[in-house]
Chains A and B, each alone.
Chain A
Amino acid sequence: MKDNYIPVNSDWPSFTTPTRTMNPVIKFLAITLIAIYYFIITDLIRMYSLIFIVLIYYNFKSFPYQVSKPKYRFLIIFSLLIFLVQAFANNQGKLVFYLIPRIIEVGPFIPIHENGLFLGLLLVGRFWGVITISWVFIDSTNPFDFAQSLTQLKVPYRLAYSLSLALRFTPVLNNEIMTIRNAQQTRGLNTNPNSLKGTFNLLKFTLFPIISSTLSRIKDITLSMEGRAFGLYVDRTPLKEIPFRISDMMLYLMLMMVLWLLLII
């Protein structure tokens, strides 16, 4: 997934999938439900089967997002960390093995118990479960449709519009940061994010210029919006209606039932 990347409409492939046609708000509720399910179940086979199915579905077609290598690296390191912390810290159950075996009268050290392994896998499963289901959501949801869908649910359009505005300006502000960063680099400043000093410099020397430019931008946008009488009326006519279909509701209820059955059986 490219960092700070919001796809514009032209980035969306022409094909449709069940997740893409689903109402964004209902879809958001559905993934929240699945995330909660991941935090409730303790059956590793069911948990990892579900993650596997979601991953297969995610990779089934090419989506506008692609998970970047550094992000995958972070996810793997974080998962490993969760696993190791549980494996080292939990000493209930039978001893499975020693991480450092006995070598010539020294050791063994760091015993790993079965419950430590179980908990490690459980929490890694939770983490990956939430991440993968989030990928499916953001891959199949146009964020602006999500904001519009919120408005149709009687969320005040001024607030829902803030979400659209924030998402709309993410790539713009990101480009601006890059411009400032390039300007600093041409002056000989190290702003390479792969080094500690570079990242620190990036934060330090980018912060004030970007705040200043954002404040100017805020002034322009506010005057422009007020000039168009934004917020004058209680209701706002949407450019595009996001339908709330019965089939979406049925799908959501079915999902609730399936998860409930998976919990009790």
Chain B
Amino acid sequence: MKLNNDTNSPDRNGESPAHIPWIKPELVKRRRKNPYFQTSDLVIIALFSSLGGIFSTFIGYLANLLNSILGIPFGGGQVLAGLHIFWLVFIFLLTDKKVGVAFSAGVLKGFVEFFTGNAHGLLVILLSSSQGLIIELILILFLGTKRRSIIAIAAGFAGLSNVILQQLLFFNSQIPITFIALIGLISFISGITLGGLFPLSVFYIFNRSPILQWRKPLSLSPRYLRKIQAIRISIIVILLLAEVSVIVFLMSQNKYSIEITGEVYNPYTFYVGDFPKITIEAELIGDVTYVPPKNYTGVPLYLAIEKAQPRLQSYYIQLRATDGYSVRFNSTEVDKNDNIIISSEDGRLRIVAGHYHGSYWIKNIASIELTALPS
């Protein structure tokens, strides 16, 4: 059964409502022309997103159990990350691989999980939408190839996005990169198998059964294909622009910068390459860490401060790291002191503070702020 959505079809009495004289024109609603998503598409997206939201609870239980059994705090559950992707890919296949379906399903699944009280709160919408978006982007680029491998790889990347986002939001510290890479790899493989190949198999089983026969196969119109081609080209252009922007940004950052602000006449961005460097010998003595005396090369801190032209005679120099850690020097300690230098090491800037406790050797400096002494 298929409803006739033809806008020119007459009503039962042979007249279009717009032509009935006693109906006020403002009461005659505008009729929709062939909608992009058919009603069946919308219902498929809605119900399977709902099902995906329900199953996420069980997957969460299973992941927690796996972590407990393996005796690790997190990571074990990533084996099942692909099961979250399963529904997005399955919906995509059921709706004849329409563009926009995976992302819509991701958003909707996120909202269902959010409203049913997912333990990640608002963030689950972000996580689920990102998964849908990644599947969407990869599949738009390769739509038409009909390769199972492309769908599986898209699902793999969607699985990986979960780890990357959670890492950015909650574990953005100094966890060993190898550990993160391992968890990422597990998620990727899980995405490929459970999120990509598994829904493909399930879809082929159901596609052969009579249960899906009521839906008419979608015939792609030339106009639709042209639209897809335009979207594909746009995405490629955006990706290229993004890549160029990242390269330009990284090239501009290769001099390692620090913002110097506060009680200064000349706030500016400090670059290591703009100043003369000196080499000092220093020994790191921390509560735990000890590094025997060795040579460090860098810019004396007082030179960086002098260029900013402090407003005050005496002041505090607050150095803040990217992770929020900060230390404070008095201006009298820093003035003409060659033992405190800003050194570039492993692509990051750090303070080498000779004759100071190890806690003053701050890593990954982001900013320097000059503040007034308490009166």
- Which B residues fall within an 8 A CB radius of A? 1-3, 5, 29-32, 35, 37, 39-40, 42-51, 53-55, 57-62, 64-66, 69, 73-74, 83, 90, 104, 108, 111-112, 114-117, 119-123, 169-175, 202, 206, 211-212, 214, 286-289, 321, 323-325, 357, 359, 362-363
Contact = CB atoms under 8 A, between A and B. Distances in A.
A225 B46 CA distance: 13
A1 B113 CA distance: 12
A173 B50 contact: yes
A90 B35 CA distance: 54
A31 B122 contact: yes
A166 B173 contact: no
B74 A199 contact: no
Contacts of A231: 5, 32, 35, 39
Contacts of A225: 39, 43
A193 B61 contact: yes
A39 B126 CA distance: 14
Contact of B122 (A32, A84, A91): A32
A71 B56 CA distance: 13
A41 B357 CA distance: 28
Interface stretch (A14-22, A208-216, A244-252): A208-216
A198 B3 CA distance: 44
B323 A92 contact: yes
Contacts of A173: 47, 50-51, 54
A162 B73 CA distance: 37
Contacts of B3: 226-227, 229, 232
Interface of A: 1-6, 31-32, 35, 39, 42, 65, 67, 71, 74-75, 77-78, 81-82, 84-86, 89-95, 111, 113-115, 118-119, 122-123, 126-127, 130-131, 133-135, 137-138, 143, 158-159, 161-163, 165-167, 169-170, 173-174, 177, 193-196, 199-200, 202-203, 207-208, 210-212, 214-219, 221-223, 225-227, 229-235
A170 B112 contact: yes
A166 B169 CA distance: 28
B212 A4 contact: no
A85 B5 CA distance: 58
Given A165-B43, A166-B50, A218-B44, A115 B325 contact: yes
B116 to A, nearest CB: 5
A82 B170 contact: yes
A126 B211 CA distance: 46
A226 B50 contact: no
Given A173-B54, A193-B58, A81 B74 contact: yes
B174 A89 contact: yes
A226 B287 CA distance: 72
B214 A211 contact: no
Contacts of A5: 116-117
Given A196-B65, A200-B62, A167 B104 contact: no
Contacts of A126: 169-170
Given A35-B121, A222-B40, 10 more contacts: A85-B73, A94-B287, A114-B359, A126-B169, A130-B121, A134-B122, A166-B53, A170-B54, A211-B206, A229-B3
B21 to A, nearest CB: 21
Contact of B32 (A3, A35, A86, A233): A233
Contact of A163 (B111, B287, B357, B363): B111
B319 to A, nearest CB: 11
Nearest to A215: B211
Nearest to A229: B3
Contacts of A158: 35, 37, 39, 42
A194 B69 CA distance: 12
B211 A4 contact: no
A131 B121 contact: yes
Given A35-B122, A234-B32, A138 B108 contact: no
Contact of B40 (A4, A218, A235): A218
A75 to B, nearest CB: 6
A138 B288 CA distance: 47
13 contacts: A4-B53, A35-B121, A85-B73, A85-B171, A86-B173, A90-B173, A93-B359, A115-B324, A162-B49, A169-B46, A170-B54, A203-B55, A226-B39
Contact of B324 (A122, A170, A233): A122
Contacts of A232: 3, 5, 31-32
Contacts of A2: 117
Contacts of B37: 158-159
A138 B114 contact: yes
A135 B323 CA distance: 29
A73 to B, nearest CB: 9
Contacts of B170: 82, 123, 126-127
A34 to B, nearest CB: 9
Given A85-B175, A166-B49, A232-B31, A133 B111 contact: no
Contacts of B57: 3-4
Contacts of A163: 46, 108, 111
